[in-house]
């Protein structure tokens, strides 16, 4: 159980807890979310003049962060009205943090198959009835959450249904070079042609994308030589197999300029499904080949 304290009148009488094994994944209308059942304990504060110093916790906000991603989510729990009680007990306040697939992918990349780790940076809004004034309280640190890998996979990631939708992100670092940028310009044009229903032309532009990339490195077509240049330190068997896969995709893309308009049921055509497959494969290939950030 991880916990942190919030001060009231310089006294740490508010305790916030979160059991790492209570963290759950949620699917909110197809959007991934993180369910955090926070628990609060509020104890009374003695005033300097004697008697209790009344207060009410009316709002709690927080940011989710970790050392790799910095901030990747936030929440605002309020308006609420939590009062101190002389008998210690914890009351639950449920928080749902909406995420998106981009941030989920970034988090999973940072997790790297290990336990899930994130921090909650929390602040609270207090109301002092005697003073008729509000005050903001923040802890000196963060609520550090370590979710066991098995729990994270079974109760969070599985709920997000990430296998149903795949996000492929292509990043062009400053050192990637103009050759990769020109290659991706053809992919952007292929996306436009796909949206316009021009499926043959979609394949043609994807072919030009890979072909142009290969020629920028001095090769006639993408294949083993191109892969070997970009991944010179790889095992020769990997270079050979990956080069064959790259060459195979390039041959498939030749359907674009070679097929004719459909004349009959048995004519060779390029369908929307073909074009979508080609786009997806091109995205994955460029992500794989592009030098890392």
The confidence score (pLDDT) of residue 175 equals: 56
Closest CA to 156 of 8, 23, 5: 23
Say yes or no to pLDDT of 50 above 80: no
Query: 97 near 44, Cβ under 8 Å?
Result: no
- Transcribe 210-227 into DSSP letters: HHHHHHHTT-SSSSHHHH
Radius of gyration of the chain (CA): 28
- Global pTM? 0.67
Rounded distance between C-alpha atoms, residue 192 and residue 197, angstroms: 9
pLDDT tens digits, one per residue of 200-212: 999 999 999 999 9
Q: Is 261 exposed, middle or buried (0-12, 13-18, 19+ CB in 10 A)?
A: exposed
pLDDT tens digits, one per residue of 139-155: 989 999 999 999 999 99
Say yes or no to pLDDT of 226 above 60: yes
For CA atoms 228, 233, 236, 238, the dihedral sign is negative
Distance of CA 235 to the CA centre of its chain: 31
Q: Is 289 exposed, middle or buried (0-12, 13-18, 19+ CB in 10 A)?
A: buried
Say yes or no to pLDDT of 36 above 90: yes
**Domains annotated on the chain, with CATH:** 2-160 (2.60.40.10), 174-289 (1.20.120.330)
pLDDT tens digits, one per residue of 244-286: 988 899 899 988 765 554 444 456 788 888 998 999 899 888 8
Query: 209 near 190, Cβ under 8 Å?
Result: yes
């Amino acid at each position: 159980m991880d916990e942190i304290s919030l001060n009231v009148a310089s006294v740490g009488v508010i305790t916030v807890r979160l059991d790492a094994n209570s963290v759950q994944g949620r699917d909110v209308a197809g959007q991934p979310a993180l369910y955090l059942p926070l628990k609060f304990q509020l104890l009374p504060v003695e005033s300097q003049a004697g008697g209790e110093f009344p207060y009410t916790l009316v709002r709690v906000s927080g940011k989710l962060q970790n050392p790799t991603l910095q901030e990747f989510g936030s929440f605002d729990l309020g308006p609420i009205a939590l009062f101190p009680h002389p008998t210690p007990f914890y009351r639950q306040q449920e928080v749902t943090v909406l995420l998106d697939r981009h941030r989920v992918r970034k988090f999973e990349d940072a997790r790297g198959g290990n336990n899930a780790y994130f921090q909650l940076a929390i602040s609270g809004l207090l109301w002092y009835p005697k003073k008729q004034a509000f005050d903001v309280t923040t802890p000196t640190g963060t609520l550090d959450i370590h979710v066991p890998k098995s729990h994270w996979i079974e109760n969070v990631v599985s709920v997000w249904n990430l296998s149903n939708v795949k996000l492929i992100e292509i990043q062009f670092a400053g050192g990637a070079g103009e050759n990769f940028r020109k290659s991706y310009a053809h992919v952007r044009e292929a996306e436009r042609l796909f949206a316009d229903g021009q499926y043959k032309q979609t394949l043609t532009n994807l072919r030009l994308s890979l072909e142009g990339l290969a020629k920028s490195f001095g090769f006639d077509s993408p294949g083993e030589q191109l892969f070997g240049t970009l991944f010179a330190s790889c095992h020769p068997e990997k270079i050979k197999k990956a080069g064959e896969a790259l060459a195979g995709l390039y041959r498939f893309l030749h359907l674009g300029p070679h097929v004719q308009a459909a004349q009959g049921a048995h004519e060779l055509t390029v369908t929307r499904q073909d074009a979508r497959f080609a786009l997806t494969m091109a995205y994955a290939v460029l992500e794989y080949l592009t030098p890392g950030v």
